[in-house]
Structure 1
């Protein structure tokens, strides 16, 4: 279906703002609520922000790279945008839902398209107890942190922590440790997409831990539960031959 009603959005950096002004002059601009497609100009961080802000609209988002990192973005070209939008392939991804409980009993909810991470927030290593679907799997992991990543986020923080790259559509989550001290060689696990992962913080007062979901941070957590959220579907558009599946494969041979 032709995508003619475009809503443009851009990160605050000058190069993205300049590109948005030029594209609006060429193609017009409509509110996101009435758009056929949202075009996001920036880097991966801005793309994640845009997906979160527009998740209730059921409108596909096409990113063009005007930032530093552009794994979720297409190359920037201004002169053939309508043809590219018509030919773009759509990928659908589900975010992770985080429920984090803090030491004062407050319950915090957040969504993450890439990953939910737990990180030590003090000088001592964190101690985490890991359960999957209500069954204790690791009584104690001593580490700098741990994360659960989606396939879309598996090339981000997860990959930097030596976690596996996951193919899109694999219905798998990556559970990856950061600088594991005990068990020293434990790198993590592959879990079914529908798995519910729970981290309990051991000695939380002595070894404080923070949780982060795509940049939304919660400090002094005592437990964090993570699950996939199938009721939310993010629609991302990619130029033919440059979709997430191809990018994930290509990244492994870089």
Structure 2
């Protein structure tokens, strides 16, 4: 099995990179069968984004902080772990942001979030599949989250946890002020979501696709990229679907 290693800038990730390359060699990403990512969830998202063209499977080991998308770090028996690993297929979201400078297109594996840029609340219009579902939402922001990302920022904002195989998206407000009691919605994975910023000059809003930010957006179109899927590898007994289930029982 040919392996390629990638690591975040954290010292512990860089040290793991050195040790694993010494033990298992380095085939380079072009020749590798599996990409091994060392770091936290942020580095995993970067590693996945780089696989959008070649679709090579990614196996993460936690050398960061949260590491929800990562396996436990261990240097011994890596090839055997990879041979027994369970694959999980995930699909990214596409976010097309309209700004005064033109259109910006990004992909997100966890969530696409819109956030206010100033002390004033954001005013947003929500359109789903061409129909206005909410003419005005006053809030700190809103997000569309995938099942893989539903336990991340979405869960912190009191959004629902989605099973990894659910063909759903979570539309979750962030500190909604009006309508105050609105808690969001579950949408089919095929939904086309458009969020328009009301009065973007007085109430500027940014759009983040995972960890990539676009500022001063006037509207964002969000949908699942149904033509693209990537493979995450997890150790047996620690697959992403099991982790998501555990999160719901706080164990």
Q: TM-score, normalised by structure 2?
A: 0.98
Look up the SS of the partner of 1:34 in the other structure.
coil
Which residue is 2:58 aligned to? 61
**Equivalent-residue separation in structure 2 for 1:66 and 1:34 (angstroms):** 24
Aligned with 1:168 (options 136, 149, 164): 164
| Distance (Å, rounded) in 2 between the aligned partners of 1:69 and 1:148 | 21
Q: Does 1:30 align with 2:22?
A: no
Match for 1:88 among 85, 88, 91?
85
3-state SS of 2:232 partner: strand
Q: Give 1:133 deviation, angstroms.
A: 0.4
CA offsets, 1:97-147, max 9 Å, x none? 000101x25111000000000000111100100010001100110000000
Residues 167-246 of structure 1 mapped to structure 2, 5 A cutoff: 167-246=163-242
RMSD: 0.8
Structure 2 distance, partners of 1:139, 1:66, is 44
Q: Is there any run of 5+ residues in structure 1 with no aligned partner, and where?
A: none
1:251 to 238, 247, 251: 247
What are the ranges of 5 or more consecutive residues in structure 2 without an aligned counterpart? none
Distance 1:245 1:192 in 2: 19
Is 1:43 aligned with 2:40? yes
Aligned-pair distance for 1:54?
A: 2.0
d(CA) in 2 for partners of 1:92, 1:221: 31
Choose from 105, 112, 121 the match for 2:117: 121
SS at match of 2:197: strand
Cα shift readout 1:29-70 (whole Å, capped 9, x = no counterpart): 111111110100000000000010122112100000000011
2:124 counterpart of 1:131: no
Contact between 2:193 and 2:223, CA under 8 Å: does it hold in 1?
Answer: yes
CA distance in 1, matches of 2:157, 2:110: 14
Distance in structure 2 (CA, Å) of the matches to 1:108 and 1:42: 28
Matched residue, 2:9: 12
Q: For 1:78 and 1:217, locate their aligned partners in 2 and report how far apart those are by CA, in whole Å.
A: 35
Q: 2:69 maps to what in 1? A: 72
CA distance in 1, matches of 2:46, 2:171: 23
Instruction: For 1:92 and 1:222, locate their aligned partners in 2 and report how far apart those are by CA, in whole Å.
Output: 32
Check conservation: 2:42, 2:211, Cα contact below 8 A: no
Give the Cα–Cα distance (whole angstroms) in 2 for the partners of residues 34 and 167 of structure 1: 33
8 Å CA contact 2:139, 2:173 repeated in 1: yes
CA contact (8 A) 2:60 2:71 kept: yes
User: TM-score, structure 1 length as denominator?
Assistant: 0.97
Query: Take 2:61 and 2:95, find their aligned partners in 1: how far apart are those partners?
Result: 29
**2:30 counterpart SS class:** helix
